[in-house]
Amino acid sequence: MVLFFLTSGLFLGWSLGANDAANVFGTAVATKMIRFRTAAITSGVFVIIGAVLAGAGATGTLGHLGDVSALAGAFMVALAAAVSVFWMTKAGLPVSVSQAIVGGIIGWNIFTGSPTDLGTFTKIVSTWVICPVLSGVIAACLYLTVRRGIDSARVHMLEQDLWTRLLLLGVGAFGAFALGANNIANVMGVFVSALPSGSINLFGVMHVTVAQQLFAIGGVAIAVGIISYSHRVMMTVGRGVFRLTPVTGLIVILAESIVLFVFASEALEAWLITHGLPPIPLVPVSSSQAVIGAVVGIALAKGGRGINFGMVGRIAGGWVATPVIAALLAFFGLFFLQNVFDLPVMRPVTYQMTEAAVTRLAEEKVESEELAALVGESFESAVAFNNQLKATTSLDRGEREVVVEMARRERFTVEPERLARVDLSLLDVRQVRALSDLAGLSFNYAWEFEDALVEGSTHWAALPDTRENYLANKRLRTNIEYVLDAFRDEGRPGERRR
């Protein structure tokens, strides 16, 4: 069943490869500087490498938008996104796979009554504007710089042609790496939360996590899509919007690759924060938007003549329609899976306040006398609980979000069998000792489990929130999420407590 449910992710990966490879090598193939076969093979290899080595950053942000917690739900979200992308690919339009998967997750949130993290949603949507604009600005600046360099260098045309071909191939490889790193979140991100945590030991040399296994499988699916079905969209990108020369084609690919890399690089994010600079959000951005923005940026730098505004309008219309179509397909598809095939599309979760939670909230400066009246009352969804908080308390939106998360009731059981499957190499020795001391115990709330870990060792406690501690706290949060996933029970929470 796991393999069956993953087929929609593979279909989405194939669709992404068929559509978005055009954004990496479309201009090079359309200008006949690189053969399609060479472009396809190079893209396939480097997209897999980028997915496995650097795919985690953007995936984490996508997971905050909606916690698709059951395989059947993840299957339908990915399938809805894949179908909407495939329709646009058939029309020869470069569409946003990022927008498609976001639309699918929103459809899942609406159907299941799960909250949509507005902060994450705003962050992602803002990149739909920032991404093409940033790409356009980078491309225009690169074009003006390169043009001056070529004019002053006076390189022979044959030599210039050779260097352009080599640079197109090299920059295309970098672009494919960035595409895999940034967009693998769109392909397999929804499955990361739905599958149990764990890892496999590879030849006794390294541990490969479930997420990395998914990224490798998704990367292969993208590569197959590139090789088998990307030629038509490459022609649209390379010729349909604005006639590009080989040199301007190189600049487009470089600008798009830089933008994708910037929004996927955890190392760059950490460097900016440690140097007191505002971080760039790690989100899966649209390579289609980046490449179209770069093409338009160069066209404007050349005076704006020759832009096919009709094609730009069609592409923009596809960007607007894609998330809406994906959301509708996901909503009705989830209804079909749940009511016809009786498949669980979400992990059952209830929300219940406790006296301990009220006390803990007061420690975090979230106080309300009305919360005491809700102790012991259960709610079947976050939306229902949030609506009750709106009606009976004076808490603001941010405070309500904290309360809802604190009241999320799940069971975490530290069974010896599960403990044996945890990749202890990811944890500090003192963290491992504190976790082992909890063997046989059970918790009904994530925060109770986390508090027990901190009681066992201060190495489970976050450091003061400073620039210097940013990386350490981020690694700690990653470890905590890993442990929570490893010991989370599938069914409803039981009554056994610590």
Give the span between the Cα atoms of 461 and 476, in whole angstroms.
Answer: 8
Residues 317 and 397 in one domain: no
Residues 181 and 318 in one domain: yes
The three-class DSSP label of residue 136 is helix
* Lowest-confidence segment of 14-18, 45-49, 233-237 by average pLDDT: 233-237
Residues 396 and 328 in one domain: no
Structural domain range at position 405: 350-487
- Which tops the pLDDT comparison, 379 or 149? 379
Residues 274 and 386 in one domain: no
Report pLDDT for 88. Answer: 76
pLDDT greater than 50 at residue 368: yes
In this structure, what token pair is assigned to residue 77?
């979200």
- Choosing from 284, 314, 339, the residue where a domain stops is 339
Position 493 in a domain = no
Report pLDDT for 493. Answer: 38
Residues 389 and 300 in one domain: no
Question: Residue range 300-313: average pLDDT?
Answer: 77
- Which tops the pLDDT comparison, 317 or 405? 405
Report pLDDT for 497. Answer: 34
pLDDT greater than 90 at residue 86: no
pLDDT greater than 70 at residue 205: no
Residues 54 and 167 in one domain: yes
Position 494 in a domain = no
Closest CA relative to residue 104, chosen from 72, 74, 124, 125: 74
pLDDT greater than 80 at residue 212: no
Q: pLDDT tens digit string along 271-281?
A: 888 777 777 77
Give the span between the Cα atoms of 79 and 329, in whole angstroms.
Answer: 9
pLDDT greater than 70 at residue 311: yes
Report pLDDT for 56. Answer: 66
The 10 Å Cβ neighbour count of residue 325 is: 24
Position 218 in a domain = yes
Residues 67 and 108 in one domain: yes
Position 28 in a domain = yes
In Å, how far from its chain's centre is CA 451? 29
- Choosing from 285, 310, 339, the residue where a domain stops is 339
φ, ψ of residue 278 in degrees (nearest 5): -65, 135
- Choosing from 339, 360, 382, the residue where a domain stops is 339
Give the span between the Cα atoms of 56 and 10, in whole angstroms.
Answer: 18
In this structure, what token pair is assigned to residue 325?
């179509």
Whole-prediction pTM value? 0.75
pLDDT greater than 90 at residue 330: yes
Residues 376 and 309 in one domain: no
Residues 480 and 332 in one domain: no
Residues 19 and 84 in one domain: yes
Report pLDDT for 327. Answer: 94
Report pLDDT for 444. Answer: 92
Confidence class for position 207, pLDDT limits 50, 70, 90:
low
Confidence class for position 495, pLDDT limits 50, 70, 90:
very low
The count of C-alpha atoms lying within 13 angstroms of the C-alpha of 353, restricted to the half-sphere facing its C-beta, is: 21
- Which tops the pLDDT comparison, 93 or 8? 8
DSSP string, 219-232: HHHHHHHHHHH-HH
The 10 Å Cβ neighbour count of residue 296 is: 23
Closest CA relative to residue 400, chosen from 355, 445, 370: 370
Q: pLDDT tens digit string along 283-295?
A: 878 777 888 888 8
Q: pLDDT tens digit string along 23-43?
A: 677 767 777 788 888 888 898
Report pLDDT for 165. Answer: 86
- Residues 6+ positions from 128 with CB-CB distance below 8 Å: 96, 98, 99, 285, 286, 289, 319
Confidence class for position 492, pLDDT limits 50, 70, 90:
very low
In the chain, how many domains are there?
A: 2
Position 345 in a domain = no
Position 492 in a domain = no
Position 39 in a domain = yes
In Å, how far from its chain's centre is CA 447? 25
* Lowest-confidence segment of 57-66, 99-108, 243-252 by average pLDDT: 57-66
Residues 172 and 223 in one domain: yes
Q: pLDDT tens digit string along 96-147?
A: 788 888 999 999 999 988 878 788 888 888 888 888 899 999 999 999 998 8
Position 226 in a domain = yes
In this structure, what token pair is assigned to residue 41?
């093979």
Give the span between the Cα atoms of 385 and 237, in whole angstroms.
Answer: 47
Average pLDDT, the chain: 82
Residues 285 and 360 in one domain: no
